[in-house]
Amino acid sequence: MWDEAFPSFLIGLREGLEAGLVVSILIATLVRADQKARLPQVWTGVAAAVALSLSFGAVLTFTAASLSGHAQEAFGGVLSLIAVGFVTAMVFWMRRSARTLSAEIKEKVQASLAMGAGALVLTSFLAVAREGLETSLFLWTNVRTAGESTGPLIGAAVGLLLSAGLCWGLYRRALRMNLTRFFAITGIGLIVVAAGVLGYGLRDLQESGLVGGGSSYAFDLSGHLDASSWYATLVQGTLNLTVTMTVLQVVGYVAYLGVVMTLFVEGVRGGASAPAASPAAAKAVAQKPVEAGAGPVRAGRPRWVLPTAAVAVPVVVAAAVIAVSDGKQDGSATVAVSEQECGKGFADPRPGQQVFQMRNTGDKVAEVYLVDPGSGAVYGEIEGLAPGTTRALTATIGSGDYAWRCVPTGGKPVTSAAVHVSGGTEVKAVKPVTEDDLKAPLDSYKEYVNQGLATLVTQSRKLQADVHDGNLAAAKADWLTAHLQYASLGAAYGTFADLDGKIDGRPDGLADKERDPGFTGFLRLEYGLWHGRSAEELTPVADELAQDVAKLAHDFPGQDFAPGDLPLRAHEILENTLRFELTGDTDMGSGTNLATAQANLTGTQELLTLLQPLLDGRDPQVLVRVNAGMKRVGDLVAAADRPEGWTPVDRLPADARRQLNGATGELLEDLAPVPALLEIRKAA
C-alpha cells in the first residue's frame, strides 16, 4: 500500500503547494491592502474549485464503472495520456513561473479589487481549479494503476496536508524555502512517475485493441523475478515498471523520460546560470538569501547524465536482484508450453503447493492446463500465454496422476506424459465443462424465457388497455404484475440488446431525467402512474412499452445466447439487485423495489435449478450454501410484503435493511464459485 502511496503523495504535495501559494499570496495581498472584508470572496472561489475537482473525480469513476471491459481499458489509457500531458505542462510551467509568481498574483488581485467581488472570486477559483483538476485526474489514474484506492488516497491526503502546513509557515514567515529548487526536485520526481503512467496507459490502449503490439514484448522477467515480491511490488508501485513490458511501453517510457527530463534539467540549468544585468544587481543578489533561485548546478556535468541515470538505475537494480537471488520463488520449475514441447521440464513434482513457471516456447498464443489425465479434471490453468513469455501458475499437488494439456490457438491440443505423485493428500480438481454440457440447460432456459415473454406480452397489453380506458388504479396493479414478470427473466437480459434499455431502462445520464423523451418503458410508466400524470399523457408510453415487449418476444428465439454466459448470470442478477433494487435507486414512486428483488430471486432460482446437475458433479456443497442463502434473503424480502402493500426500501427499519444487505452480500459470495466451476475450458 505504501509504495503505491508515494506517487500520489508527490502529486498532492506539489499541486497542493502550488495552489496553496497562490491562495497565500492572494490573502497576504488583501491583508496588506487593508481589504480583509473581501477574504470570504477568496474562500468562495477556493471552495468552488475544490467542489469542481471532487465532482470531476466522481464523474471519472462513474463513467469508467459504467463501461464494458474493453471500453474501460481504452478510457483509462486515454486519460492516462492526458494526465501525463497535464503533469508535464505543470512542471515546466512552475519551473518558469516560480520567480515571478508573487508579482503576477498581486497584479491580478489589484485588478480584481478594481472590478468587484465577482472578479476576485473568479481569480481564486481559476487559480485553484487548475491544480485541483490536475490532482483529480492524476489521482484517479494512480488509483486505477494501483488497483486499489487506500494507498493512493492516503498518499494524496498526506501530501496535501503537508503542503498546507508549508504554505501556512511561508505565509506566517515562519519558514524560509527555496521554492525554485523545491519545484525543480519535485518536478524531476514527477517526470519519472509520469513516464511510468505513460507506460501503463499505453498498455491499457493495447489491451483495449485501439493500439497494436500487445503481444510484442521487449522483455519478460517473470521467469526470473517474482512479481509478488516486495522489491517488484515496490518498483511497480512507485515507477510503474513491471516484470513484463511490451516494446511500445518501453519505447514510450524511455523516449518520454529521455526527452522531457533533458529539457527540464536544461531549463533548470539555464535559469540558474542566467547572467546578472549589472555588477550592482549581481552584488544585491549575492547579499540576498536565495529565495527563488534554482541553486548551484555543476557546470561540468553533461546534460544527458540525469536522464540516463533515471533510465538506467531501475535496470541496474533489477539486474542486481536477479544476480544475487535469481529472483524466483522457492521451488519453482520452468515448464514448456507448445505443440512440440508440451510439459517439458515437468518431472517429479513434490506434494503441496508448488509454483510452475510456464514458458510458451511455440509460435502461437496458448492456453495451458494442469489436469488429471484420466478424467480431464483441471488443477490449474493459464489463458492467453503469448509466444516467448513466461507466467507463474500456482497449484496444489496431491496424491494422483498429473499431466499438462497445451492448447495453441488454431493448433492441435497436446497432452504431456503423465507423472504420478504419491505421499500427498487428495486434492480436488475441477471437472471441465464443454459447450455440449451447457446445451441442455441453455435450451431449457430459452424455453423458460420464451414462455415468460409470451405471458409478458399478454400482461403488457392488459396494462395498455387500462391506460387507454383511463383506469389508472387498475393500471397500477397490472403494472406491478407485468414488471415482476419481466424481472424474473433476468438471466436473459444480455441477449435483449437495446430492447432491455427501452423496456426497463433508468433515467440515469439523460439530460431531462424522468421527463426526457429517451426515458421509456416500465420505469417511465411507473413514474407517471405514481406522480399523478393523466391517462392521456401516459397512453403513448404504454403503447410504446407494449410494442417493445411484442418485438422482444418475436426477436428472442433468433438471438444469440452464448452458452458460456449462462453460469455468469446467476451472480449478475443479484449483483444488480444489490446495486439498484436494495438501494432504492430504481424506485420511481411505487415503492416496490423489494417486490422486484423477490422476482430476481425467482429468476435466479430457476437458473440454478437448471445448472444443478453440472454443479453437483463438481462441488455439491456450493448449492447447499447457495440454497440456504437464497432462503435467508427470500425470507427477509418476503417480510416486507404486508397486507397494505410492499414496504419501500427507504422505510425499512435500519436493522432490517442492514440484515437484508448483509445476507445478499453473503449470497453473492456463495454464488461467486459458480462461473469458475462451469467455465468452458478447452482442456476437456
CATH of the domain at 343: 2.60.40.420
Do the domain assignments include residue 293? Answer: no
The answer to the question of residue 401 being in a domain is: yes
Q: Which residue has the cell 502461437?
A: 364
pLDDT number for residue 606 = 92
| 295: in domain | no
Phi, psi values for residue 416, rounded to 5°:
-75, 170
Q: Are residues 310 and 352 in the same domain?
A: no
Residues 196 and 142 in one domain: yes
In terms of domains, do 482 and 510 share one?
yes
Q: Output b/e per residue, 594-615; b: 16+ Cβ within 10 A.
A: bbbbbbbbbbbbbbbebbbebb
The answer to whether 597 and 586 have CB atoms below 8 angstroms apart is no
Residues 491 and 634 in one domain: yes
98 and 222 in a single domain? The answer is yes
Tell me the H-state helices in 33-116.
Answer: 39-65, 69-97, 101-115
Last residue of a domain, one of 361, 391, 421: 421
Question: In this structure, are residues 380 and 337 in contact, taking their beta carbons and an 8 Å threshold?
Answer: no
Residue where a domain stops, chosen among 421, 447, 466: 421
E runs forming strands in 221-351: 244-246, 333-337
Domain interval for residue 135? 2-277+302-320
Position 611 scores a pLDDT of: 92
Q: What's residue 651's pLDDT?
A: 93
**In the prediction, which pLDDT does 154 show?**
77
Q: What is the residue whose three cell numbers read 426500501? A: 649
User: Which positions ≥6 away from 424 have C-beta within 8 Å?
Assistant: 351, 352, 397, 398, 399
Whether 8 maps to a domain, the answer reads: yes
pLDDT of 172: 64
Q: Are 310 and 343 found together in one domain? A: no
Structural domain total, the chain:
3
Residue 3 in contact with residue 238, Cβ under 8 Å?
Answer: yes
Residues of the chain with pLDDT under 70: 1-15, 17-22, 25-26, 28-35, 38, 57-73, 75-76, 83, 90, 93-120, 123-124, 126-135, 137-152, 170-183, 186, 207-208, 214-215, 220-240, 268-332, 424, 491-494, 682-684
In a domain, 201, yes or no: yes
Helix (H, G, I), strand (E, B) or coil at 619: coil
Domain containing residue 621: CATH number: 1.20.1420.20
**Pairing between β-strand 352-360 and β-strand 390-397 as defined by DSSP bridges:** antiparallel
Pairing of strands 333-337, 352-360: parallel
112-128 pLDDT per residue, tens: 555 555 666 776 676 66
Residue 104, domain member (yes or no): yes
Single-letter amino acid code for the residue at 577: T
Residue 10 has a pLDDT of 62
Distance CA 620, CA 629 (A): 15
Using alpha carbons, list the distances in angstroms from residue 533 to 311, 316, 403, 404, 538: 67, 72, 68, 66, 7
Together in a domain, 473 and 353: no
Query: Does 312 share its domain with 359?
Result: no
Cell of 529: 402512474
Which residue's entry shows cell 427473466?
Answer: 489
Of 320, 355, 389, which marks where a domain is finished?
A: 320
Q: How far apart are CA 614 and CA 262, in angstroms?
A: 62
Do 652 and 600 lie in one domain? The reply is yes
Based on the fold, state whether residues 471 and 614 are members of the same structural domain.
yes
Same domain as 338, residue 208: no
The span from the CA of 555 to the CA of 490, in Å, is 17
What is the rounded distance in angstroms from the CA atom of residue 576 to the CA atom of residue 559? 23
**Are 362 and 268 part of one and the same domain?**
no
Does some domain include residue 326?
Answer: no
Rg (CA), the chain: 32
292 found inside a domain: no
9-32 burial, b at 16+ Cβ within 10 Å, e below that, comes to bbbbbbbbbbbbbbbbbbbbbbee
CA distance linking residue 207 with residue 235, whole number of Å: 22
* Cα distances (angstroms) measured from residue 104 to each of 98, 99, 100, 164: 10, 10, 6, 21
Q: What is the structure's pLDDT at 320?
A: 54
d(CA 34, CA 15) in angstroms, rounded, equals 29
